[in-house]
Each structure stands twice: as structure tokens, then as C-alpha cells.
Amino acid sequence: MLTIDSLSHRLSSYLEPVQVNCVKRAYYYAEQAHTGQFRRSGEPYITHPLAVANILASIHMDHQSLMAAMLHDVIEDTGIGKSAISHQFGDQVAEIVDGVSKLAKIDYESQAEKQAKNFQKMAMAMARDLRVIVVKLSDRLHNMRTLGALPPEKKRRIAKETLEIYAPIAHRLGMNDWRIEFEDRGFAAMHPLRATRLHASLQQVRGNRKAIVEKIQSSIEMRLQRETIEGLVIGREKHLYSIYNKMRGKHKSFEEIMDVYAFRIIVENIDTCYRALGAIHNLYKPKPNEFKDYIAIPKENGYQSLHTVVVGTQGVPIEVQIRTKEMDELASRGIAAHWLYKSNGDEESKNGSYDRANRWIKRLLEIQQHTNSSVEFVENVKIDLFRDEVYVFTPKGEIIELPAGATAVDFAYAVHTQVGNSCVACRVNDRPAPLSQALESGQKIKIITSSGSQPNPNWLNFVITAKARAAIRHYLKNQRHTESVELGKRMLQRALSNQELQLDKLSDAQIQNVLDTTSRESMEKLFEDIGLGQITAMAITNILSPGSEAETNRNSHAPISIESPDGLLISFARCCRPIPGDPVLAHLSTGKGVVVHRETCKNINDLRNKRGSLSEINWSPKVEGEFRSEIRVEVKSERGIIASLATRIANTKTSIEGIQVDERDAEHSVITLTVAVTNRVHLANVMRSIRNMRSVASVSRAKT
């Protein structure tokens, strides 16, 4: 049984006696604080902090992390506050403990929001001290090892959170051994029957494979000796969760996945890694496109190794990883190795994982700044955690690491948020390419920017990095705010002019009266709510001129004008699809802003009698862009008619956004085309072109 004395003996192998005593003092403090508290298993609660500290000792964490491990539940579960811990053990230990502690005594609408808020708090603490996450991971690891005492529902919830958040974080920090244990224990708790069957199959296969594994290992060892390469050859097994994911994700059978044999070769230095690779490729034929050099370009978590797949005798695929002892240590412990080498006074070149972790934390902070809620923040972090990497180059030759499937827009935001916001086009390997095209490792990317451009909402359909997604949403939200304030101000100015009042000549007392009556904190907020349709401009004029009725002056020049189809607060009704040149009316929709209808639209009739619900609107003389319109085409049913229609429309330099075909009878069909046009003249030209076709019986603009 683990005791503080046995732990102290273990710590004395790498910590100073003074530091060991600090850890013991933290233990006795925690033991006293948790007096009378027990775990579900019936053990005294102090056994948990002691076990967490022991896990940290196994990776040689520093004494302050071990002290925090002893104290990590004190703030949450006892009456002792952060200030008391700070007074007893110092600010650094108190900060780590506070970062690991959950937000207690706060009611949340849902369990998801509670978990998200706690993770957000921890992420912010990680930015100040990375040891927070290492302590939290060790806490979660011991909880996963002792899940047995919990009820099934809670067990599954903790396992799900572990698989979705903590296992990917361990992977991101390069802590591979912990990641594997998180995944296997989480899998066993989430799907106990599947895990049991898979484990039994693995045990059975292990015996059948033993002779082949030994034969391949012997061949590799003999070839390395012949080349005078000293190295350790180890047969490597896939863990349960990895096998399960490959079976499910790649739709492969258990036998197909276990048909691959995996080995790891550990050598003295980097030069020997490449010599060993040459020896393996001379022994077995390498498979094309299956070689990866993670030594020259490490993974985002600092992982370094050479990966190759070769074909052995009788066509058996063999995966081989070649790395140095230091690389193997870093692959297992990741960021935790930073403190191991720090305590040995040998930090040179061992900080790659630590630096990468810091860069990831910096990215978390950027995501945090651009998200509105803790739940959205956690969703974005999940996106950021669950990706393999591709490595692309800037025009100056710098390497940018991106998740697999990332696009040029993701690349632009990875370079700088402003580059992403002003991106208009890209060149991949000096050739024009779509912004939505997935990038591949080794490509050179050049982003073309324009000072007048802004993010396109459609980018959210294909960007995959959390930073790009959060930055686009943040920009659009601010843009929506700016547009709604401007729109609301113009609408209020127009409503006031009908009462012979002027907005800029209102007295302070009048403004304060309006704000008090509408419960708004500022005029900017009032303008925004008018623009979003939360409150009408007419209601404000009635506050300023009680008893009067604002009359809509239909002959006056409408102050709201449409300049493009891309405004966030001016949308176009799908029922009638207005285009430049159509007589239009605006309907103020709550939360959406202005919705534009054609004057002849049937849906607008219900709103005509509602005072203040309709507004004058017009098309700007400088209106630009493409607007969608629908054309109804009645044709004689014949082979190739849709292709002929598409060709005829394309000849008018018009794009088709949608086609719907309805059979009217055996000989006739009605085709509804959604086309992108610039104005009524453009639409008339398209319709004239279609009308001249031999198979077309009639053409008309779709009506509501």
C-alpha cells in the first residue's frame, strides 16, 4: 500500500531533501483538511491526492507540482481558501491548486455548461503555468484507474469527457503513455462488452503471431549488426482503442488490422536513425508514399521519429519507427520531460515539446478572446485537438503546422488574424487555387489580400481550425453590431423627421428619458436593438412626443438603401427573391434586421396594416453583386433538356444556383431554376434566351 514514507523514498532519488520535506508538509496539511472525508470505495480521501502525487513522481515532476497534487482538492472540498494555501506554501503552489480546482457552488443550466466553464477556467490557468494541466491529467488518470466504485451513468460521463478532452490534451502535450491509458480505460468504461471481446481476440491473436514477430525481429537485428548499427528492436502492439477506432473509421475487420506487424528501433543518435532506415529499406522493399520524416519536421506535440512501411516475406506489411533514446523518452512523457531534464540540469534541446505546448496555449487564448461562451470555447478546442497535421510553407520558406484537411483560409489565419480577415485569393505552388481546397504537406502557399475585403460567412462551411472559425465569427459578430447600429440610427432619424424632430438636437434630458423608459444603457445599444428589430423606431418617437402618431411619408426619399447582397442585416425574402430594379418594401424582423420583399409579394399583405412593421427601402444607384432569382420554365419532356437549358443560361454569363424538376404530365415538365443575376435587365436577357429554345413552352418569373 502506498504511504507518504514510500513516496518520500521514491522522491529522494531525484529531489533535494528540503524539497521532499515540502511535499511531506503539504501531505500532512491535506490529510488534516480531508479528515472525515472518504472516497466511494470507502478509503480515506487522502489516498487520492497521495496517488496523484505518486503518478507525478513517476515522471519526475518538480516538488511544487507534487505539493499541488497533495492539495488539489482542498479548495474545492474543504473550507480552506486559496489565500490560506498561498500563505502556507507560496503563490506558485496556490495558483496551480486554484487552476485545477473546479468552480464550486455555482448553478448552471446544464452539465455540459458546467464542464465547459470548468475547462475554460483551467485553460486560462494553464496559460499562466503549464504544470496546472499536468497535475489535472494525473488527477484524471487516478480517477480513471478507480472508476469501478462509481455508478454506471457517472462512469460513462467521466469516460466520455476523458476521451473527448483529456486524452487529446495528453496527445497534444506529447504524453503518449498517458494518452494510451486514458483511451483504453475510457473505451472499457464506455463500451465494456466491446472492449472485453476485443481484448480476448487480441490475446488469441498474440499467441498465433508470436513466431512471425520473433522471425521479423531476428531479421532486423541481424541486418543492423551487419551494418554495425547498435540499436534496440522492440515489437510494438496497437492498443485496444486504436484498433477499435481503425475498425470503425476505416471499416476494416480485426484480421485486416492485425495483419500489420509493427516494430520500434531505438538507436544512439540522429545520424544512426537515417543509417538504420537505409538498412531496413535494403532488407525489405519500402511501400511508396508511406515514409514520414518527423525528425526533420517534428509533429506539433514535439514528437520525433522516422516512420516507414515495408513489405516483408510473403507480402506481410511491417511498420517501423526509428528514433533516438531522447526521442523515445519525449514521445512517452512529452511536456513532462521538460521538468525531468530541468531537474537534471540538462535542458538543451529538450524544450521543443514545452515550447510547442506554450504555442498551443497561446492559440487557446486567441480562441478564448473570439468566443462568446464557454461551451463554444470547448467545442473549438475539441476541433483543435482532434487533428493530424500537415506541414506547408510560406513564400519565405517558413513551416506552418496545420490540421489535416486545413484550407488556405486556415493558413491565412495561422499566419495572422488580419491576413485572414483581408484574404481574397491564394496561390498553391505558384498556381491559383480555390480558398476551400484542402492543403497537403510540402505545398507552398501564398495568400493574396486586399485592404477593402472582409471574411465571407461561407468560409465557416470549410475552415477547420479553431482559430480561423473563432476569428471569422468574431469579425462577423462585430460587423453585425456595426451594421445594426448604423441601420437603427438611420431608421430612428427617419422616424423623428416625420415628427419634425432631429436626432442630433435631442437634449440630454430627452435622451436619458428614452434610455430609462426602454431600459437601455446607451444610445448605441438602443440603435442596435432598433436595427435588429427588438424595438421599433416609432416606439421611440412616441416616448419623445407622447400622444402623437408617426405617419409614414411614402413620398419622401427612403433613407435606407441597398448597396450589395452581402449585408449582414439586410436579407432578401426567399418567397419572392427581389432583385435590383424591383419595387420593394422592407419588413423589420426581430433579431434578423431588415427583410426585403417585392411590393407584389403576397406575404407582405399581412404586414401592411401593422403600424411600423414596414419601411421604405430603395436600391442604391451603385448597387453591385449577384442576387438570386427564380425562373419557372415549362418544357416538353425530352432527353438532354436540362443540359441544353444549362448551356443556354451559361452563354449569358449567368450561374445556376439550383434546379428543381416537376413532371406536369407525360409530355411536359416544369423546371424551376435559381439563377444569380445583377438586376432586372440581366434577368430579362436570361429569360429571352431561354424563350427562344424550341422545346420551351413558356418562361416566367416565379411568383409567391
Catalytic residue numbers, as ranges: 76-77
Element (H, E) at 224: helix 192-226
Q: Which residue has the cell 420583399?
A: 597
Helices (H) and strands (E) counted in the chain, each on its own, are 28, 21
User: Could you count the other beta carbons within 10 Å of the beta carbon of residue 322?
Assistant: 24
**Residue 478 one-letter amino acid:** N
DSSP for 293-340 reads ETTTS--TT----EEEEEE-GGG-EEEEEEEEHHHHHHHHHTTHHHHH
Sheet of 445-449: strand order equals 431-433, 423-428, 445-449
216 C-beta neighbours (distance < 10 Å), count: 23
**173 vs 182: CA distance, rounded Å:** 14
SS3 at position 535: coil
**Which residue do the cell numbers 500532512 mark?**
28
Residues 6+ apart with CB under 8 A from 48: 39, 73, 142, 146
356 burial type by CB count under 10 A (0-12 exposed, 13-18 middle, 19+ buried): buried
Compute CA distances 83 → 71, 79, 89, 164, whole Å: 13, 12, 10, 33
Q: Which backbone phi and psi does 414 adopt, to 5 degrees?
A: -65, -35
d(CA 362, CA 591): 34
Pair 101, 75: CB distance under 8 Å: yes
- Strand pairing report for 317-324 and 261-267: parallel
- Residue given cell 435559381 in the structure block: 674
Q: Supply 12's cell numbers.
A: 529522494
Q: How far is CA 184 from CA 180, 192, 239, 247, 359, in A?
A: 6, 11, 7, 15, 28
Q: Which helix (H) or strand (E) holds 657?
A: strand 655-663
C-beta of residue 483 within 8 angstroms of C-beta of residue 569 = yes
Evaluate the CA torsion angle 503, 504, 509, 515 in order and state its sign. Answer: positive
User: Checking phi first, is residue 616 left (phi over 0); if not, alpha (psi -120 to 50) or beta?
Assistant: beta
In angstroms, the CA 227 to CA 351 distance is: 33
Which strand (E) or helix (H) includes residue 629?
strand 627-636
Sequence-distant (6+) residues with CB within 8 A of 348 are none
